[in-house]
Structure 1
Amino acid sequence: MTEHVVIVASDGVARLQAEADRIAAIKARGAVPSACGDEIPEAPARGAFRVFEPMRLRSVGSGEYEAQHVGYRGRSAIRNADVFDVMAAAVARKKKSPPFTPGQVAMGRHYRDLIERHACAGLRCSSLEAVRSGGGGQGGEFVDAVLRDREEITLMRRRIGTGSAIEVRRVRPSKRGSRTTITNQRLVDMVCIEGKSLRDVLEAHGWSVYGETTKAVRQALAGLLDAMAGPAYTGHIQSL
């Protein structure tokens, strides 16, 4: 027989009900929309996610293509929401335009995926030399892929540069307070890799979060994401 201890507060409300409500709220956050079917399990620990429709282009002849839904049994799918999804959702609630273009978001995600894939490459073997000694020629292909990723990361970081997204004017520390310069690389890494919001970036560097600083760091990140895509970028430094 299972025993339960029910603690009744001074107002006569049992705490057991409050705990049940808390658990119900957690389960509700992990509920999968009906549009996705019942094949995806409910998982509160999954965190925030977004629903999307898997699509692909299908040839219809004469060089023409049309978008085709390819979800399992015609259903939608879900994926974990990243920092770009969270920021887009935040401005959407205020009826404002997305803070970054689809191309900028794609570049930020591509950079993140490159860094994560390259960081995990070493888990396959203790060293590249050991991989090269593997049989079947697969070791060489793996090494080539790792080197390609490293070269692309190096190129993207070169495009990001060593400059500053927002820098502190040359004033005495007593005047500028705890503010520190936000470098280009740190801004990109905090948002794209660490999943930090623009607010998190500003607060971590001692900056007050208000319209002017938020706009400055957003514009700086947008410019850097464009720069990572190609050499046509002619960025600028915000000084506050």
Structure 2
Amino acid sequence: MPTATSTVTTPPFSAQIPLKAGLKASKQPAVAFSSAPTMGQTSTGATLRSLYSRATRAFVLKDMPTTYSLIQSAFSILKPPTANPDSLSEYRRKWDILRITFESTVYATPAASSESLPESLRASLAEPPQALVTSIYNRSLSLFTPSNGTTFKNTVNAAFLPGAVLTTLVYCSIKLDAPDVGRVMIEDWLARREPRYSLDVQEEAEGNGYEKVLELYCLHILPKVEQWEYAKEFLEYESELPVQQREHLKAALSNLYSQR
């Protein structure tokens, strides 16, 4: 079973996570809940909100240099939390999703159109897909794992990744043809998150994203690495989803297998 470390090692496809162990996950580390935002945090939030509006507009207009510059400006002031959640949690989530989407889009763009990009970005985009996706994933782990407030480096923990960020990372791995890295991401998250046995619409709206993660895992990632039987077996053991949703995934998997 993958573990969260400062680097990601892609396991061979024959190394399966224990089905029941992957679903009976250990609880997230206890962290202090944040107090009311300070004046400084309020000011930072206002700055991030203004930058985000400009960055998303630049991205939609395909102004990649401006988008990159605004992303760099945002992350110069957006650091890992010291408590989970904190007053900047929503900004952290939105900005990381934008950064992942931006980088995967630029990477998939023909090289000729990247000549106007900053040298630092072009250098990272010259990496092999697996290396780039792994680097992006590790960066997200560091961004969302609460800081211990000391000079010692924290042990990153995938349990702190918001569901929406994880699914964006997995889509990135699929888009850049690195599904084995996407598999590591999901299995690490499944192993570390705290299970919820009463999933409902409200929990999904709050960003749990468990059903979407399983959809990506069983219908996209595992089929791409030719793990059809394991995907089927995983759904047989899965016990957290409502029965109707689980049966829907089983039917969709069977349909995909028949069309391959």
Q: The TM-score by the shorter chain falls in which range?
A: under 0.3
Q: Determine which structure has the larger strand proportion and give its number.
A: 1
| Greater helix fraction, Structure 1 or Structure 2 | 2
Higher RCO (CA < 8 A, seq sep 6+): 2
Give the TM-score taking structure 1 as reference length: 0.24
Larger C-alpha radius of gyration, 1 or 2?
1
User: What is the TM-score with the length of structure 2 in the denominator?
Assistant: 0.23
